[in-house]
Amino acid sequence: MGAKEVGGKTVGVSPAINFKEHVEDYKYPPDVFDSLVFTGSGYKGRNVTLVRSCDAVISVQGMIGTLNELTIAYDEKKIIGLVLGTGGASDLFLDVLRKMGKSNENVFSSDDPNILVEKIIEALEILQ
């Protein structure tokens, strides 16, 4: 919604094989994306396609599917942004990494989405 508010374009990655399945089976909204990619791979397959298509991943809240996306992003060495204070996977992911003895070098967090996006852009510029 934020991208749309400032004139940005949005791309959705759907687990469905087509628009009908996207709306009827997965119960996803039909009109929030400018472009929609149908993977036909279900939730977990869609997550891999989604993460591999991104330079960075930003998590807001989230449940088990978001945690799956975050672990894929971590394994793919993507820049990860966590909006803290929103609950769910976003608030838990740093603790999961710490408890597993994993580095959080590419993981940025903030309770301010604007600051978080600035940190991610800066990190991406360093990588280029």
Q: Is the pLDDT of residue 57 over 90?
A: yes
Compute the chain's Rg from CA coordinates.
Answer: 15
pLDDT tens digits for range 77-120 = 999 999 999 999 999 999 999 999 999 999 999 999 999 999 99
Please report where in the chains the tokens 């591999």 appear, as a residue.
Answer: 52
Q: What pLDDT score was predicted for residue 64?
A: 95
Q: What pLDDT score was predicted for residue 78?
A: 98
pLDDT tens digits for range 7-36 = 999 999 999 999 999 999 999 998 889 999
Determine the Cα–Cα distance for residues 13 and 2; give it in Å rounded to an integer: 17
Q: What pLDDT score was predicted for residue 4?
A: 82
Mean pLDDT of 45-50: 95
Instruction: Cite the DSSP H helix spans in 26-84.
Output: 42-52, 64-75
- CA distances, 68 to each of 18, 34, 57, 122 (Å): 23, 25, 12, 25
Q: What pLDDT score was predicted for residue 3?
A: 82
Tokens standing for residue 46 = 């869609």
- Sequence-ordered list of residues with C-beta below 8 angstroms from that of 51, at least 6 positions apart, any chain: 57, 69, 72, 73, 76, 78
